[in-house]
Chains A and B, each alone.
Chain A
Amino acid sequence: MNRPTTPRDASHRGREALIHLENEDLMPLPEPLASPALDHSWPPLSDSCKAAYECGLDDTCAVNIPQPKSREEEDRLVAQFLSGLQKLFSRENNWTFLQPLLLTMEHCTGCQTCAEACHIFEASGRKELYRPTFRTEFLRRLYFKHVKHGGLLSAWQHGDLTLNWPLVARLIELAYRCNLCRRCAQACPIGCDNGLVARELRKLFSQEMGIAPREIHENGSMLQLKAGSSTGMNAEVVKDNIAFIDEDISERTGIEFHTPWDVEGADVLLIHNAGEIMAWPENPGAFGLILTLAGVNWTMSSELAAYDSINYGLWYDDAQFARVALKHVEAARNLGVKRIVLGECGHAHKALCVVADRMLTGELNIPRESSLPLLRDIVLSGKIKFDPSRNEFPVTLHDPCNMVRLMGVVEPQREILRVLCPQFREMEPHGVNNYCCGGGSGFAIMGGNNFPDWRFHVSGRKKLEQILNAFSDCLDAAIPKYVCAPCSNCKGQFRDMFAYYNLWKKNRLMYGGLAELIVNAMADVKPGFIEWEWH
């Protein structure tokens, strides 16, 4: 079924996927991945997965929605969807995003400018299914029909659609084929926001139907609110791990330091993405060393959820989002710190500094800021002596969407790299016009079925092209190269995608954070902080 997909196809009752992708269909990559034949083959979805879950969209399955056992169950689910649809457009239920959602529903002219900006649409070989307006078209038609109660005139004006369970099931999956990077919204001449539509659909499914990918709900925000972190670490474990990191980094750098915990009245409460502590311990270690050497009065908090900056609710659920944001600021309030500083995690930046701003009133309105300006000020202050020649290798910078296009933190990281990395080069385009890493909005942690294959082949493809182009003059394996990604989620995507394409072994392509580059260039630490070992 590889003819151009139309919105009506989504109501089709068959179990087969609407589209199938082959490597030859996809946007070509530059060398060393230029030949589609050398690209990975796609493992098909298993028969057991197809038998158990709704997989009628494309070659993969992100949400694992159990297939209803009867037509009655289907009807009940459709009724739930309709109920959620009404709530999505009501003030009491959705004051949080009602205005931008209405504006997007009622004014799209169908010019398709958004599609030209979408990395997933382009990378897929311009498949209709992944066009930003495709999923929005469903919601718009259903909105005019079932919320505005439009009749024949409305159907003539806005299009009609048959609402049934296959459509809802496909829409659930389709809401998870968008990285929520909002590059499409940036391009729209009207200001419509298809990224918001994907996010609001996810919200409807979560808040009304209780449907969300396990990785971001049960194992994500729910676990964080219960145990303190989506990693499962409780306060004692995280303190142990940080103590181990302090010791290790002290040994590696030759400068001893200890992370302070629960210091009342500290200037800075630093909150990392706890995934860093588990997967990239050198990042929190580097932060600890930098802040200590710069004389910053800082602390970490062992309160529930306050040692993990993640807030997955940003991607799918307003209530979960607000609950986690509240935990973060309550910890800061309880300690009486002057400000919260967020470590290298893009969505945590956006969540706590920007989106939560209009939820945090009164004494909960504690200043919150990015760590990047703080790091920039430290690097440029002269408090620490640097030797940029220690970073004498090609470096490029990935702009996490949540920090850059969606928050406006663009220059601080560049000011650091220009000073400390002699071979720094930009990707094109960059800054607020960047492309998503392909792991945004939860994709980087969603590993069920063959979803990672889709993530590397499609959503990450444009970024991979950018990276390979940025290093096109030095792809030789003798030259180590560093993709600086000041975001845990993006690093997770790069780790998995580079491994998938074997780019470390073949081309010595490494990724890492910004703080690591800073410590690597410190003149007074032992050389070789960045170890150039795959992890």
Chain B
Amino acid sequence: MTIAAYLSIYAGVVIFLAGCLRRILVYARAPLHLRWELYPVAHEDPGRAEHGGSYFESAGWWHKPQEFHRYREWMAMFQEIAFLKSLREFNPRLWVPSFLFHGGLYLWIASLILMLAATVPGVLTPELQIARISVALLPAAAWAGLAGELLVLAGALLLLVRRMTDVSLRNYTKAGDIFNLLFFIAAFAFLAAGSIIHGLNAASMGEIARGILRFDRGTEIGVVLGTGLILTSVLAAWIPFTHMSHFIAKYFTWHSVRWDDRRMERGSAMERKVAEYMNYHPTWAALHLASNGEKSWAEIVAAAPAQEAKK
């Protein structure tokens, strides 16, 4: 069980990171789209952002440099990520289970970070193994982890009930969605039970963490905890291939779409990109475009429509 758990964790982490990277690259490499922002835009001037205004509210806006108040973006994102602000505002009934679920995940991830912080220095420098900081951090990590697991469990169960009982959700719920929630419930139930059985003290948690980091086959991981670790690892590997990777999408939907009000400047990199796109040769078939892959976007746009569109 120990080796199986170790291998699952290693593979899960690698696949998770690779899957996330791939997804990030797909969106980051997508062409610059036409402006499609939605107001309020967080980085606007504070006086305007309050009512959702833009620089277009000033006559002669092009005479003034565009302002980007990045701290306002970070504040808005913090509220969105930490408190699920949009959901609370527009769909409060779903906010409670979703907040429990996401809050639990954040807590659980924080516990992993704590555990790494407590054990990595000791693994890299063995004489620090019994450093006081590890002794202090590991129980905190263990308890935070357990709390996170229980919150995820509660949230996932409530979300599952909502998906099964609320007609508006049920109509759009696929087998895969149910599977994902059951997967979370199973993985985190085993993790919670396993960590309780194994012990939430510094010695036992430190032993497992160090064992994972060092591939120490002498460490004893029980069946319940081992099952939890394997399930969680597989779940982590699965996430980047599903819509559960919306934590990646959310960066792009906010920063690259909703808040992307960057204006075209002469001689800018943006202008060069658009010039490149205008040389693409589309193949749309409608008669009024008359593209057929022979004309570039620039040529199509400059030409009068060929003829009336055919129905």
Instruction: Report whether A99 and B35 are in contact in the complex, using a CB–CB cutoff of 8 Å.
Output: no
Instruction: Report whether B39 and A432 are in contact in the complex, using a CB–CB cutoff of 8 Å.
Output: yes
Measured in the bound complex, the distance between the Cα atoms of B61 and A362 in whole Å is 18
Measured in the bound complex, the distance between the Cα atoms of B246 and A95 in whole Å is 22
Q: B257 within 8 Å of A by Cβ?
A: yes
Instruction: Report whether B309 and A319 are in contact in the complex, using a CB–CB cutoff of 8 Å.
Output: no
Q: B253 within 8 Å of A by Cβ?
A: yes
Determine which of B27, B172, B300 lies in contact with A319 in the assembled complex, contact meaning CB atoms within 8 Å. B300
Chain A residues, Cβ within 8 Å of B271: 361-362, 365
Measured in the bound complex, the distance between the Cα atoms of B257 and A63 in whole Å is 30
Given A182-B38, A191-B250, do A407 and B56 touch, yes or no (CB 8 Å)? yes
Given A66-B311, A189-B86, do A369 and B56 touch, yes or no (CB 8 Å)? yes
Residue of A nearest to B245 (CB): A107
Selecting from A12-20, A22-30, A156-164, A245-253, the interface stretch reads A156-164
Q: A370 within 8 Å of B by Cβ?
A: yes
Q: B20 within 8 Å of A by Cβ?
A: no
Determine which of A115, A131, A206, A356 lies in contact with B309 in the assembled complex, contact meaning CB atoms within 8 Å. A206
Measured in the bound complex, the distance between the Cα atoms of B287 and A487 in whole Å is 32
CB distance from A90 to the nearest CB of B (A): 8
Chain A residues, Cβ within 8 Å of B250: 190-191
Determine which of A84, A103, A157, A369 lies in contact with B253 in the assembled complex, contact meaning CB atoms within 8 Å. A103
Most chain B beta carbons < 10 A, residue from A4, A97, A365, A408: A408
Given A98-B30, A157-B242, A191-B258, do A373 and B59 touch, yes or no (CB 8 Å)? yes
Chain B residues, Cβ within 8 Å of A410: 39, 51-53, 57
CB distance from B299 to the nearest CB of A (A): 11
CB distance from B263 to the nearest CB of A (A): 6
Chain A residues, Cβ within 8 Å of B305: 222, 225, 319-320, 323
Q: A503 within 8 Å of B by Cβ?
A: no
Instruction: Report whether A99 and B31 are in contact in the complex, using a CB–CB cutoff of 8 Å.
Output: yes
Q: A187 within 8 Å of B by Cβ?
A: yes
Q: B220 within 8 Å of A by Cβ?
A: no
Residue of B nearest to A360 (CB): B264
Selecting from A209-217, A493-501, A511-519, the interface stretch reads A209-217
Chain A residues, Cβ within 8 Å of B310: 210
Chain A residues, Cβ within 8 Å of B246: 107, 109, 190
Interface size on A, residues (CB 8 A): 96
Chain B residues, Cβ within 8 Å of A395: none
Interface size on B, residues (CB 8 A): 90
Instruction: Report whether B286 and A103 are in contact in the complex, using a CB–CB cutoff of 8 Å.
Output: no
CB distance from A82 to the nearest CB of B (A): 12
Instruction: Report whether A106 and B249 are in contact in the complex, using a CB–CB cutoff of 8 Å.
Output: yes
Chain A residues, Cβ within 8 Å of B86: 113, 187-189
Instruction: Report whether A103 and B87 are in contact in the complex, using a CB–CB cutoff of 8 Å.
Output: no
Most chain B beta carbons < 10 A, residue from A157, A182, A370, A405: A157
Instruction: Report whether B309 and A185 are in contact in the complex, using a CB–CB cutoff of 8 Å.
Output: no
Measured in the bound complex, the distance between the Cα atoms of B278 and A92 in whole Å is 9
Q: B25 within 8 Å of A by Cβ?
A: no
CB distance from A519 to the nearest CB of B (A): 19
Q: A419 within 8 Å of B by Cβ?
A: no
Instruction: Report whether B54 and A409 are in contact in the complex, using a CB–CB cutoff of 8 Å.
Output: yes
CB distance from A531 to the nearest CB of B (A): 30
User: Which A residues lie at the B interface, using CB under 8 A?
Assistant: 4, 6, 65-66, 80, 83-84, 87, 91-93, 95-100, 102-103, 106-113, 115-117, 128, 131, 133, 137, 156-159, 182, 185-193, 196, 206-212, 217-218, 222, 225-226, 319-320, 322-323, 326, 339, 353-362, 365, 367, 369-370, 373-374, 376-377, 404-412, 431-432
Q: Which 3 residue pairs of A and B lie closest in terms of their CB atoms, listed nearest first?
A: A191-B253, A408-B54, A432-B52
